[in-house]
């Protein structure tokens, strides 16, 4: 007989696990995943990066490294932060993480005790919600509008409740695809400073912009150290590298590195050196431009297919980048019922993405990992299912 | 202004961080680390493993993989477990982890709430102690004898207190080098079943046996799923691979995989494929035999140097394997004072390794990562410092 698990793990199933399961089904068209397209991995260049670097280095290539990660790679992220993100930082401000997910988890672990207040966007990324949920916090939802979090609701929440942490995805938000406006970014920093709250800026899709203009990071307006920015190579290079980064106040990064030592000690130097060599021998931004053309096409195919086939009463987001399209159905349609009934196409139903209100009438559709032909086919099929569901409810009513 | 961190992180410094800092000092002779010798990494073979595998695979090599890790590698661990560890298991019982450290952390996260009871050996591995400490549990120390945990003290503890988890390193214990006897292994399983406690069997040094006979894993006596075994490629292949494994009850592994999804999603397939290819094209056990000859020599040099130079009143363990030698000084000598005063040689002082009693008069010395010449030089120097300290105290007394 085993001892009881922590009460923080009340649920026996995991939405994130379900998501990966949905993503892996071959017999269906999967709009559920958040995977980059296999075709886009610069395999030749990454393979070469390993070979080049491994011939240059000593056996200590295979030894323990630093908890914050391989310094030359952290320096490259400093350059990127200074030049592209307009974040004034040094190597002490950077920690390499196992994907951005580890960054979220480290911050949750370090700041949250059971019952602590935290603000999340409604809807939000299921992986972050579950990382926070493992700390059994008090969740407060703030709706995401087309220009980002509703700042009035946010300030009201901060006035009424003790909140330690605000989690936001400012660019091509997962799952809505919305971007936070410039004004709201500044406002968010001001609110965070006024109420002494940490802002976790999760920004994995930033560079995947197909049109429109890039906005400065929230962190770039932060003068007091209230914002931590998370980035990742998963979407712009390869998720198998399991490498992201965290940019924050140097004292905070130091404290988090001590937490990280107890979690998995440090990142792999092998993979870090591969990335470092790739960045030295290739133009990542050129690669990203190619990706954006490719993804933009897929997004357009999906938007067209949805606009042509969605019954009236439904709406569709049209993001300028990222991986996802957000579909809102009539209020009386439960997207999870659709998902269960519709064997041929999978997607993410919205219930679990609204951590408090559990709004059910939305769907997150991924276009990055699906071919245009399958996107068209899947969207048609999905729209038929939606139409039938609406008719059925009309008859019942 | 930042919000307050969790109260679980009361300390501002980390002993594990100090350890890594001590390990990295070049101007001193460092007996502090727990590093494998650089000379022993099979760099050529590991480099080749990447090259071979990367030419065989598709671009999906760089895609997301499975949360439990690359299945072919998990199957090899199943074979090893069945044949060498006498653990009857299948692929569902195995999770690949970022070193054994992640296994410890996942178990702590899943089982422990603030104040929960946990038994650790006294002394124990600082990385585990700090991973547990992050959950703010109630620690109970059980002394380690030359044949393992004191089972009488353990049973008394289990009778008197609610305990969820017992953490033990049965082979070449870190820091003492002691091994748990066969009888005690069986007894531990019986106690765990009787009191409904989880046993975490941390076994990274198992294969590093220079002499004597290998004993069955604690897990091999477990019929009820009360034991989880942790292993690692860090010491027998390379720590930069950041790959260990966890063997446990399949329902528990499934539950932990959901926790792991929120922590860092999954391990890197790139590194897993490297290891898998290495294991297919090389004889790891032959490599381990070579390592053991090499380390055995270093251990003998250290034992001799200590026996020749240690003043009376001190004792030294003589382990049959592993990475560490344990020195016990007269009770009135504080090893941390020695460490601070003795600029030329570093080691791990014992205070933090006894999580409750903080016994100060011991030292953990590592021999695996230091050349024989430096071992001799360092031991002489260290013994002089000890002798002086003893004399000084005698004069004061």
pLDDT by residue (tens digit) across A189-223? 999 999 999 999 999 999 999 999 999 999 999 99
Q: Cβ-count burial of B170 within 10 angstroms (0-12 exposed, 13-18 middle, 19+ buried)?
A: buried
Are B140 and B161 within 8 A, CB to CB? yes
d(CA A260, CA A254): 10
User: Interface pTM (ipTM) of the complex?
Assistant: 0.94
Mutate: best of B263, B267, B272, B368, partner A, most A CBs <10 A: B263
- For residue B138, which residues of chain A lie inside 8 Å, CB to CB? none
Section A41-51 average pLDDT: 97
Is the backbone of residue B114 left (phi > 0), alpha (psi -120 to 50) or beta?
Answer: beta
The dihedral region occupied by A126, where left means phi > 0, alpha psi between -120 and 50, and beta the remainder, is alpha
**Range B326-350 average pLDDT:** 92
- Say if residue A286 is exposed, middle or buried (CB neighbours under 10 Å; 0-12, 13-18, 19+): exposed
How far, in Å, CA of B296 to CA of B32, rounded?
Answer: 18
Fold topology of B43-281: 3.40.640
Task: With CB atoms and an 8 Å threshold, state whether B261 touches A111.
Answer: no
- Say which residue the tokens 């190597």 belong to: A91
Mean pLDDT value of segment A125-142? 97
Q: Are B386 and B337 in contact (CB under 8 A)?
A: no
Shortest alpha-carbon distance between residue A74 and chain B (Å): 17
Interface contact B127-A261, CB threshold 8 A: yes
CB contact under 8 A, A63 and B55: no
For the residues A331-344, what does the mean pLDDT come to? 89
* Contact residues, chain B, for A54 at CB < 8 Å: 43, 47, 50
As a whole number of angstroms, the distance between CA A217 and CA A202 comes to 10
Is the peptide bond preceding residue A175 cis, with omega within 30 degrees of 0? yes
Q: What is the rounded average pLDDT of the residues A268-288? A: 97
pLDDT at B4 over 90: no
Q: How far apart are CA B177 and CA B325, in angstroms?
A: 6
The pLDDT value recorded for residue B364 is 98
- Do the bridges between strand B138-145 and strand A345-346 make them parallel or antiparallel, or are there none, so unpaired? unpaired
Please, where are the H alpha helices in chain B? Answer: 15-23, 43-56, 71-83, 99-111, 126-133, 151-160, 182-195, 250-264, 269-281, 284-309, 335-341, 372-396
**Cα distance between residue A64 and residue A268, in whole Å:** 8
Which residue of A18, A46, A63, A64 to mutate against B (max B Cβ within 10 Å)? A64
Alpha-carbon span A142 to A287, nearest angstrom: 35
Q: Note the pLDDT tens digit of each residue in B265-295.
A: 999 999 999 999 999 999 999 999 999 999 9
Instruction: Give exposure, B204-235, as e/b (b: 16+ Cβ within 10 Å).
Output: bbbbbbbeeeebebbbbbbeebbbbbbbbbbb
Helix (H, G, I), strand (E, B) or coil at A88: coil
Measure the CA–CA gap between B231 and B247, rounded to whole angstroms. Answer: 8
Q: What is the pLDDT of residue A28?
A: 86
Give the residue from chain A lying closest to B105, CA to CA. A263
Which of A225, A263, A287, A291 would best serve as a mutation to test chain B binding (most B beta carbons within 10 A)? Answer: A263
Does the distance separating the beta carbons of A50 and B50 come in below 8 Å? yes
| Residue whose C-alpha is closest to residue B227's, from B209, B247, B256 | B247
**The two three-digit tokens of residue B125, written as one number:** 């591995």
Inspect the interface and report whether the beta carbons of B241 and A271 lie closer than 8 Å.
no
A299-325: per-residue pLDDT in tens?
999 999 999 999 999 999 999 999 999
The pLDDT of residue B394: 81
Q: Distance from A102 to chain B by nearest Cα, in Å?
A: 5
pLDDT value, residue A8 = 87
Average of per-residue pLDDT across B198-223 = 97
The pLDDT value recorded for residue A25 is: 64
Could you state, in order of their start, the residue ranges of all structural domains in chain A?
Answer: 15-41+286-396, 43-281
Q: Predicted confidence band at A17 (pLDDT cuts at 50, 70, 90)?
A: confident
Average per-residue pLDDT for chain A = 95
Question: Are the beta carbons of A101 and B263 separated by less than 8 Å?
Answer: yes
CB contact under 8 Å between B98 and A1, yes or no, is: no
As a whole number of Å, the end-to-end CA separation of chain B is: 51
Cα angle, residue A25 at apex, residues A21 and A30 outer, rounded to 5°: 95
Pick the CATH number of A15-41+286-396 from 3.30.1540.10, 3.30.360.10, 3.30.420.140, 3.90.1150.10: 3.90.1150.10
Q: What is the pLDDT of residue B271?
A: 96
The mean per-residue pLDDT over the stretch B6-29 comes to 73
Which of A264, A273, A274 to probe by mutation at the B interface, max B CB count within 10 Å?
A264
Average pLDDT over residues A127-144: 97
Q: Is the pLDDT of residue A24 over 70?
A: no
Cα B28 to the center of its chain, rounded Å: 24
Strands A29-30 and A227-232: unpaired
Answer yes or no: are the C-beta atoms of A353 and A124 closer than 8 Å. yes
Q: Tally the C-alpha atoms within 13 A of residue B60's C-alpha that lie toward its C-beta.
A: 7
Q: Has residue B157 got a pLDDT over 90?
A: yes
Omega within 30 of 0 (cis) for the link into B214: no
Q: Which residues contact B332 (CB under 8 A, 6 or more apart)?
A: B361, B393
Q: Are A102 and B196 within 8 A, CB to CB?
A: no
Q: Specify the DSSP class assigned to residue A144.
A: E
Instruction: Calculate Rg over the CA atoms of chain A.
Output: 21
Rounded to a whole number, what is the distance in Å from the CA of A17 to chain B's nearest CA? Answer: 6
DSSP bridge pairs for B366? B324
If pLDDT is split at 50, 70 and 90, which confidence band does B397 have? low
List CB contacts (< 8 A) between A267 and chain B.
Answer: 242
**What one-character DSSP code corresponds to residue B232?**
E
pLDDT recorded at residue A341: 84
């Amino acid at each position: 007989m085993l001892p009881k698990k922590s009460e923080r793990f009340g649920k026996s199933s995991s939405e994130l696990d379900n998501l990966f399961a949905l993503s892996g089904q071959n017999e269906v068209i999967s709009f559920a995943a958040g995977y980059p397209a296999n075709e886009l991995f610069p395999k030749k260049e990454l393979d070469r990066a390993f070979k080049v670097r491994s011939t240059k280095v000593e056996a200590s290539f295979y030894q323990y490294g630093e908890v914050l990660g391989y310094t030359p790679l952290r320096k490259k992220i400093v350059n990127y932060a200074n030049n592209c993100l307009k974040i004034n930082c040094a190597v002490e401000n950077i920690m390499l993480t196992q994907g951005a997910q580890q960054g979220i988890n480290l911050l949750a672990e370090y700041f949250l005790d059971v019952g602590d207040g935290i603000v999340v966007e409604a809807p939000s990324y299921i992986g972050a919600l579950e990382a926070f949920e493992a700390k059994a916090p008090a969740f407060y939802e703030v709706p995401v509008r087309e220009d980002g979090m509703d700042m009035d609701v946010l300030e009201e929440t901060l006035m009424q409740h003790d909140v330690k942490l605000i989690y936001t995805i400012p660019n091509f938000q997962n799952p809505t695809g919305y971007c936070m406006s410039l004004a709201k970014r500044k406002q968010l920093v001001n609110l965070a400073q006024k109420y002494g709250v940490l802002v976790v800026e999760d920004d994995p899709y930033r560079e995947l912009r197909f049109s429109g203009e890039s906005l400065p990071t929230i962190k770039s307006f932060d003068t007091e150290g209230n914002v931590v920015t998370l980035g990742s190579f998963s979407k712009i290079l390869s998720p198998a590298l399991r490498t992201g980064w965290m940019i924050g106040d140097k004292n905070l990064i130091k404290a988090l590195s001590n937490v990280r030592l107890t979690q998995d000690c440090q990142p792999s130097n092998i993979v870090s050196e591969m990335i470092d060599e790739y960045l030295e021998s290739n133009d990542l931004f050129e690669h990203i431009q190619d990706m954006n053309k490719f993804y933009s096409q897929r997004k357009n195919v999906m938007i067209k297919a949805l606009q042509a086939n969605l019954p009236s009463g439904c709406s569709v987001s049209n993001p300028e980048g990222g991986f996802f399209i957000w579909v809102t159905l009539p209020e009386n349609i439960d997207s999870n019922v659709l998902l269960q009934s519709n064997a041929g196409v999978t997607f993410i139903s919205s219930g679990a993405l609204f951590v408090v209100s559990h709004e059910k009438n939305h769907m997150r559709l991924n276009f990055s990992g699906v071919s245009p032909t399958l996107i068209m086919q899947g969207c048609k099929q999905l729209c038929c299912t939606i139409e039938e569901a609406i008719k059925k409810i009309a008859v019942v009513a």
